[in-house]
Amino acid sequence: MFDPFRSITCHGATAPLPVAHRRHTGGLLVTFLLLTLVLLLPAAWAVTVAIDGEDRVVLGPHYQILEDPSADMDLDAVRQSGRFTAADLGTDPNLGYTASAWWVTVALYSAQGGRRMLELPFPFLDDVRVYLVEPAGGTLLERFSAGDLRPFAERPYPHYNFVFPLQLPAGTRVDLYLRVRTQGSTTIGSAVWQPAAFQLASDNANLLLGIYFGIMVALFAYNGLLYLALRDPAYLWYVLFVSSMTLAQGAWTGLFFAYLWPNWPAWGNLAAVVGFDLAGFFGALFSRTFLDTRQFAPWTDRMLLVSAVVFAILAIGAPWWPYQFHAMVTSVTGMVFPLIAVTAGFQGLRRGGVSARFFLLAWTILLVGTVLLGARNLGLVPTNFLTRYAMQMGSALEMLLLSFALAARITDLRRQREQFKLQAHQDPLTGLANRSMLELELSATIGRIDRGQGALAVLFIDLDGFKLVNDLHGHATGDVLLKVIGQRLKQGSRVGDTVARFGGDEFVVVLEGLQDLSHVMRVAEKLIAEVSKPAIIGDLQLQVGASIGAAVYPADGAEPLSLIASADHVMYEAKRSGRGRVAAATGLAAALRTVASSGGHS
């Protein structure tokens, strides 16, 4: 067998080689083979992608890629450079923020040939160039260019994404070259579509976008009307928040550039980041107002205020700052701010209320969407359906939940007002009505009595022997005893009667709608019996009594305070006459004598 490392043929004769010569020749041959392999590797990697039989063929996994840091290479230069390297960058490659121009090439083959739609589904690319080349002779078959810095009418196909109609030859391999350069996030995913399938997919996407923006418009209108009706600033900030998010998402999808400002590419290039900045600004103001962080969470309030200032500066500075710097800062700030809002939501949740739960859930959902989008823009996570549309899905859910939160906030505020009113009119120890509430209830009761709804009496109750309990067992034990006595008085009174703690160990019971004044004395005697029962407090068995003064309206007082004063005055008569008794004021006593003498009812 022929051994190239042992011999060579010369003039038809074979002679053995010296050992040194054999080693030198073997090394040259190995080097030659390695160089040949290296030169052939790109060709081996350049897999031809057959595009027949599929509605959509994603090209990202088949890319060969070249970076042009100077951005001055043309098509001929990159074809001759031999610098393309195969790299499976996934279905939707994202290279983050970079100043370089990037070239990719893919070999395509169609046995049928005909029209195909090449789509780059990221509308924020400053400059996109497409070349279709016949590799054998280097013939340029088609050439397109587009970008979001040009008027929309200059696009080769009217679509909010970058779409290029390709005419492929039948049965011939062609090389597709893409050149992309942008100041924003360099997302260079692409797909080749059958025209009918592309149109159907576009129609479905338009339907989903229409639903999304329809939700946003409905939320804007509904809560805008509520703001006009209620004048609650939380609704104003929410409406402006929705408006800003709608602007951002409409610009981010390319939809607004296609339909609202097709001839203003400079504004279209800024609209998305400005919209996100304004959404952050109004979102921070909404959070401060909604949760009232200024009162309940001062530190978080300062963080929200700082966030609002940062977003405002970003929005104002957008036209003058480099776009790439602005977009990167907006992405980072947008990832941080929802964390602050979620923190504020947790603090609001600790205070209770259904609205805080909706708020927390809403911002948590948006936090996930914002972090995914920001990480995608920075190239930290791969671009896919979830990371690309996480902000849209998250913002739609967030806006709905925040609208529910505003509705729940009305209930929470009403409950808080009722709780405040209750605290303002409730004795903190016994839970009974306090003196202020007593006067209000007595005034309202007098109004009803004046309209002919029965008679009205007041019982003024003072405990007998309570001071001794305090002196012997302490005020803590006395407080517990007062709670027990308060509950006994409430249980011994009729449903609808007002029981109040007047102060110290003094209580007042308002008896309303009486048809029989003799009932006043029976209720008073019943209450004395209830109060006098022994009370078990810890290891102690305590017992106190009660003296009661009774007065009737209007004979003993035409005003609440005068009526109470009359009952208070005769209560001391009951104490002086032996305690544990009921004494009636002059007017009530006369009325009772009249009832007794007539044998009837008052």
pLDDT digits (tens, 9 = 90+) for 93-149: 888 889 999 999 999 999 999 999 999 999 989 999 999 999 888 899 999 999 999
Q: Which pLDDT value is given to residue 449?
A: 85
Q: How many helices (H) and strands (E) does the chain have?
A: 17, 22
- Contact present, 151 and 105 (Cβ < 8 Å): no
pLDDT the model gives residue 519: 87
Backbone dihedral angles phi then psi of residue 135, each to the nearest 5 degrees: -65, -30
Catalytic annotation, pick one of 92, 505, 556, 568: 505
d(CA 426, CA 420): 10
- What pLDDT, on a 0 to 100 scale, did the predictor assign at position 282? 95
Alpha carbons 148 and 125: distance in angstroms, whole number: 6
Tokens of 236: 């104003």
User: Which stretches in the chain have pLDDT values below 70?
Assistant: 1-46, 352-354, 373-374, 376-379, 381-391, 412-413, 416, 418, 421-422, 453, 598-602
102: β partners: 67, 180
Q: Annotated catalytic, 68?
A: no
The three-point CA angle 90-60-191 to 5° equals: 125
Query: Beta strand 101-110 with 85-86: parallel, antiparallel or unpaired?
Result: unpaired
pLDDT at 457: 93
DSSP character at residue 152:
G
Quote the pLDDT of residue 35.
39
CB 195 within 8 A of CB 167: no
What is the model's pLDDT at position 335?
A: 80
Q: For residue 107, what are the β-bridge partners?
A: 48, 175
Residue 257's contacts (CB-CB under 8 Å, 6 or more residues apart) are 123, 148, 152, 160, 251, 265, 268, 271
pLDDT at 387: 65
Chain Cα centroid distance, residue 215:
16
By C-alpha distance, which of 525, 422, 522, 527 is closest to 485?
Answer: 527
The distance from CA 470 to its chain's CA centroid, rounded to whole angstroms, is 54
Give the phi and the psi of residue 548 in degrees, each rounded to 5. Answer: -130, 135
DSSP string computed for 55-123: SEEE-GGG-EEEEETTS---HHHHHHH---EE----SS-EEEE-SSEEEEEEEEEESS-EEEEEEE---
Burial class (CB in 10 A: 0-12, 13-18, 19+), 229: exposed
